[in-house]
Structure 1
Amino acid sequence: MSTEPVGAELAAPELPSVCAVIPAHARPVELRRAIRSVLDQEYDGSLSVIVVFDRAEPDHTLEQAGKRPVRVLENNRTPGLAGARNTGIVASDTELVAFCDDDDYWDTSKLIAQVEALANAPEAVLATTAMVVEYDTRSTVRLAGTSTVTHQMLVRSRLSMLHSSSLLFRRSALLGDVGLINEEIPGSQNEDWDILLRAAEASPITHVDEPLVHVTWGPSSFFRRKWDTKVSSNLWMLEQHPSVREDSRAAARLMGKIAFAHACSSNRREAWSWSAQTVQRDPRQWRGYLAAGVAVMPRSGELILSAMNRYGRGV
């Protein structure tokens, strides 16, 4: 490994302090990998980790002192991912707060690249990176093709390559105008899209279009088959974000997701109804047609989803 100083543009005393918040449930091997990827960052500033156990027994053997301390907490807010993230945000005392899911991990240059991006965009409250999707033995790079992400871009598309494990916030914004992660979203699904939209409303997001975060997809994902929660969380987004609801392309995208979730749940009538609404709002929205077909053979939905995930895509 090179011993050359990283981030020459920023002297070490000027580097902001960072806390990585890792929500944890029941994946001990992956969790230790996530923690190690944070501790191994090529970053000369102050860096710490807070692991927040949600609906699981906290593992205090993970704690460590020293230059890069690791603290273990129990979620003391609403059960779920949003509450766990907020527990860590509130407990931290750093200038910046980063997220990393317990089954994901960072490249060693992730933090310094984002800190430099924030230094060059002082008005931005959030920095993101692109990602590598790890599915079974296949790795797929997902890039955004831009260094700036606007609110309108996020209205039209979730931009899934801006994964929650890539988010680096100015903590003052989370405790101020942007606000904490919304704990009212059903099942804590779409909480990442919601906070991205709110952050982009405050100021365009500065994005490092390099795949510096490894995101693990597959059958072990907690959200993979929670179709009822997918329906309710997407309905929540339509209700709470007028900019999404009023944009035909954006609304149709969410309606298609709702239709697909109903189809995979064997709710044929609901699937066809939402499929029809999807196509009415945007005839180009392929999810409407896909959901109508899956409604006839619900088991095909899982096969389609697995095939798309293998190539770093989702429905």
Structure 2
Amino acid sequence: MNSPSVSVALCTRNGARYLAAQVESVCAQVPPPDEIVVSDDESRDDSIAIVRATLARHGATAPALTVLENRPALGVTRNFEQAIRACRSELIALCDQDDVWHAGRLARIVDAFRSRPELLLLHSDARLVDGELAPLGSTLFEALEVKPSELAGIASGQAFAVLQRRNLVTGATTVFRRSLLSAALPFPPEWVHDEWLAAIAAATGRMDVLPEPLIDYRQHASNQIGARRPTLREKLAKAIAPRGTKHAERLRRAEVLLDRLASLGPQVPSACLQAQREKVAHQRFRTELPASRLIRWVPVLLAAARGRYERFDRGWQSVAQDLLESG
């Protein structure tokens, strides 16, 4: 079977410090991708010049380059949407400006897509490193406290159920089929692009995970989205923090996903659609809990006994949050 073509959707914003290493690691893949689409969000440094110069060093073997420049900046999700829309290959690899791909990463992923025509999206773990690429001693999945049961659920075809509890997909590690975009576009403003692509892929087809780290994921002061394991003190502080608007925002996200899935008709199995309706109902329940902690105890514990927190949230961690949050 022929290998599918690959586009890289690379979003930049003042990324000059790290871009050369990232683009070099992309070009060093065997075989290299067919094209790189750079969507730049109003950089005030020489980000684009660095991309061009790095590609020029590879001569005729360099991927084709498309550059889109945004004035004013679009923001992370809309910037990635623009880059993705411009990609022309069968597979699209999301790419952050400050990471480094491991040797053999693309071949490993392309082989999975070639051998599995039903596969829509594939993501992996990542090694956490500092700004100078020194290992921090842990991986992305360790920082996210990913459970073996969650990885097993995704691998067994139950990704939608896993993602209803929480997102595990990080864009920098993700490659997906271009055909996914017919259902996923446009990206709603309530969602981050990688979470949205994963949810749509899980609902309309098959997504999977590679448990090994395939990129170095830099953690530094300029990260727009980073990853680290929260401390016990931070978890406790979160549990007793004011409720604020976060539950209403999560409800809106769940409703937006339900609306999109309903609009896709037979592409979405009835079981997924019903599960999302139940997710919306659970999130509405959490949003409408009374301000008084004392009054919350009975409905929260009843919902927990019925398994709703285990199915749609992070189990007893979410139960504790609803019991202890103020306001």
- Taking structure 2 as the reference length, the TM-score comes to 0.64
Once the 2 structures are TM-superposed, how far is the Cα of residue 192 of structure 1 from its aligned partner?
Answer: 1.8
Q: Is the 8 A contact 1:148 1:204 kept in 2?
A: no
Once the 2 structures are TM-superposed, how far is the Cα of residue 217 of structure 1 from its aligned partner?
Answer: 4.2
Within the alignment, does 1:185 sit opposite 2:180 as a pair? no
Q: 1:31 to 1:244 in 2, by over 3 A?
A: farther
Greater Rg over alpha carbons, structure = 2
| Counterpart residue number, 1:137 | 136
Once the 2 structures are TM-superposed, how far is the Cα of residue 255 of structure 1 from its aligned partner?
Answer: 5.5
User: Aligned equivalents of 1:124 and 1:295: distance in 2?
Assistant: 43
Once the 2 structures are TM-superposed, how far is the Cα of residue 17 of structure 1 from its aligned partner?
Answer: 1.7
| Counterpart residue number, 2:238 | none
Q: 1:286 to 1:147 in 2, by over 3 A?
A: closer
User: Aligned equivalents of 1:274 and 1:76: distance in 2?
Assistant: 48
Residue identity opposite 1:185 in structure 2: P
CA RMSD of aligned residues (A): 4.1
Within the alignment, does 1:154 sit opposite 2:162 as a pair? yes
| Counterpart residue number, 1:238 | 254
| Counterpart residue number, 2:263 | none
Once the 2 structures are TM-superposed, how far is the Cα of residue 196 of structure 1 from its aligned partner?
Answer: 0.8
In structure 2, runs of 5+ residues without a counterpart are: 227-242, 259-274, 306-314
Residue identity opposite 1:193 in structure 2: E
Q: Is the 8 A contact 2:13 2:47 kept in 1?
A: no
Within the alignment, does 1:101 sit opposite 2:96 as a pair? yes
Q: Is the 8 A contact 1:148 1:205 kept in 2?
A: no
Question: What SS does the corresponding residue of 2:184 show, helix, strand or coil?
Answer: coil
Once the 2 structures are TM-superposed, how far is the Cα of residue 117 of structure 1 from its aligned partner?
Answer: 0.9
Question: What SS does the corresponding residue of 1:215 show, helix, strand or coil?
Answer: strand
Residue identity opposite 1:89 in structure 2: I
| Counterpart residue number, 2:105 | 110
| Counterpart residue number, 1:59 | 47
Within the alignment, does 1:17 sit opposite 2:5 as a pair? yes
Within the alignment, does 1:208 sit opposite 2:213 as a pair? no
Q: 1:113 to 1:71 in 2, by over 3 A?
A: same
In structure 1, runs of 5+ residues without a counterpart are: 1-9, 260-268, 297-315
Residue identity opposite 1:23 in structure 2: C
User: Aligned equivalents of 1:149 and 1:171: distance in 2?
Assistant: 20
Question: What SS does the corresponding residue of 2:119 show, helix, strand or coil?
Answer: coil
Q: 1:132 to 1:59 in 2, by over 3 A?
A: closer
| Counterpart residue number, 1:26 | 14
Q: Is the 8 A contact 2:139 2:213 kept in 1?
A: no
Q: Is the 8 A contact 1:75 1:87 kept in 2?
A: no
Alignment of 1:1-315 (within 5 A): 14-41=2-29, 43-44=30-31, 46-57=33-44, 59-61=47-49, 62-63=51-52, 64-65=55-56, 66=59, 67-69=61-63, 70-75=65-70, 79-134=74-129, 137-140=136-139, 142=141, 144-145=151-152, 147-160=155-168, 162-174=169-181, 176=182, 178-180=183-185, 182=187, 184-186=188-190, 189=192, 191-217=193-219, 219-223=221-225, 234-242=250-258, 243-244=275-276, 246-247=278-279, 251=282, 281-282=303-304, 284-290=315-321
Residue identity opposite 2:304 in structure 1: D
Q: 1:233 to 1:123 in 2, by over 3 A?
A: same
Q: Is the 8 A contact 2:19 2:47 kept in 1?
A: no
Residue identity opposite 2:189 in structure 1: I
Question: What SS does the corresponding residue of 1:282 show, helix, strand or coil?
Answer: helix
Q: 1:98 to 1:233 in 2, by over 3 A?
A: farther
User: Aligned equivalents of 1:114 and 1:105: distance in 2?
Assistant: 16
Once the 2 structures are TM-superposed, how far is the Cα of residue 181 of structure 1 from its aligned partner?
Answer: 5.3
Structure with greater helix share of residues? 2
- Taking structure 1 as the reference length, the TM-score comes to 0.67
Residue identity opposite 2:40 in structure 1: F
Q: Is the 8 A contact 1:121 1:206 kept in 2?
A: no
Once the 2 structures are TM-superposed, how far is the Cα of residue 76 of structure 1 from its aligned partner?
Answer: 7.8
User: Aligned equivalents of 2:292 and 2:224: distance in 1?
Assistant: 24
Deviations 1:54-101 (A, max 9, x none): 243473312235422344322489822222122212222222111022
Q: 1:86 to 1:26 in 2, by over 3 A?
A: same
Q: 1:33 to 1:292 in 2, by over 3 A?
A: farther
- The structure showing larger relative contact order (alpha-carbon pairs under 8 Å, at least 6 residues apart) is 2
Question: What SS does the corresponding residue of 2:223 show, helix, strand or coil?
Answer: coil
User: Aligned equivalents of 2:72 and 2:185: distance in 1?
Assistant: 12
Residue identity opposite 1:201 in structure 2: A
